[in-house]
Amino acid sequence: MPRDESKLLFAPTHEWADITEVGGDKIATIGISAFAMDQLNDLVYMDLPEVGRVVNAGDELGEVESVKAVSPIYSPVSGEVIEVHAELPDNLERLNIEPYEFGWMVKVKVSGDGGIDALLDLAAYQKQCSESA
């Protein structure tokens, strides 16, 4: 089933989070937004964290390198990395086409509120993007 962009939450740094409940735990599936992909253009390299890494909202999770620049990827939530999309770094061209489907990067088991309340809904995120364009 396709991920509904209107249900995603966004960090001001252009990462998205899809928060789901699994067995009483909140799991955040995280990626970078279509807006960020448009800004980055052609990606040539991606570095993702190891499973088991504990992150706080705002911590650097990894980085992406495009023909234009190297950009950090920040965690929009706090918690433990429980899964990494291992196929993604070898298929970066699909990230431009499917940023919210194939383009997920990591899954984080959220600790506490995990910073979820600080994230933006789609309308607020689109407003931020239009103001920075």
The amino acid at residue 91 is N
Does position 40 have pLDDT exceeding 90, yes or no? no
Nearest to 119 by CA among 74, 87, 70, 52: 74
Predicted confidence (pLDDT) at residue 94 exceeds the cutoff of 60: yes
Answer whether 72's CB lies under 8 Å from 60's CB. yes
DSSP 87-101: TGGG-THHHHH-TTT
Q: Where are the alpha helices (DSSP H) in the chain?
A: 34-40, 93-97, 122-132
What pLDDT score does 41 carry? 79
The predicted structure's pLDDT at residue 133: 60
First-to-final CA distance of the chain: 31
Amino acid making up residue 120: L
pTM: 0.93
Residue 2 — pLDDT band, cuts 50, 70, 90? low
